[in-house]
Amino acid sequence: MEEASAEEEPPGGTPLFRVRNLERNLSLAKFFVKFEGVNPTGTQKDRISSMHVRRAKAAGYDTISLGTCGNYGASVAYYSRHQGLKTVVGVPSSYSGERNEEMQSYGARIIGIDSDYEGSLGIMGDLSRDNNWYDCNPGSVNSHVDLEGYESIAEEIISQMGHAPEILSVPVGNGTTLAGIYHGFRNAYNSGRIDSIPRIIGASTTGGNPVVESWKRKYRNLRNLRPDQIRETTNNEPLIAYRSTDGQEALSAIYRTSGCAEYVSDDEMIYYSRLIEQTEGISALPASASALAAAVSVLRKIGSGRECVIVITGRGRT
pLDDT digits (tens, 9 = 90+) for 158-174: 999 999 999 999 999 99
Average per-residue pLDDT for the chain: 92
Residue 107 phi/psi, 5-degree rounding, is 90, 10
Residue 136 sits at φ, ψ, to 5 deg, of -110, 25
Q: Determine the Cα–Cα distance for residues 21 and 15; give it in Å rounded to an integer.
A: 17
By the 10 Å C-beta count (0-12 exposed, 13-18 middle, 19+ buried), 238 is classed as buried
Give the pLDDT score at 42: 87
Same fold yes or no, 16-43+147-312 and 45-135: yes
Stated as kind and residue range, the H or E segment containing 311 is: strand 306-312
CATH of domain 16-43+147-312: 3.40.50.1100
Query: pLDDT at position 6, please?
Result: 40
- CATH for 45-135 is 3.40.50.1100
- pLDDT attached to residue 96: 67
Domain boundaries in the chain? Answer: 16-43+147-312, 45-135
Q: Hey, is 281 helix, strand or coil?
A: coil
- 227-242: pLDDT as tens digits: 999 998 989 988 999 9
Segment 81-123, tens digit of pLDDT? 999 999 999 998 877 677 889 999 999 999 999 998 889 999 9
What is the spatial distance between Cα 48 and Cα 285, in angstroms, rounded to a whole number?
20
Q: What is the DSSP string of 205-274?
A: ETT--HHHHHHHTT-SS--PPPGGG----TTTTTT--SS-TTHHHHHHHHHHTT-EEEEE-HHHHHHHHH
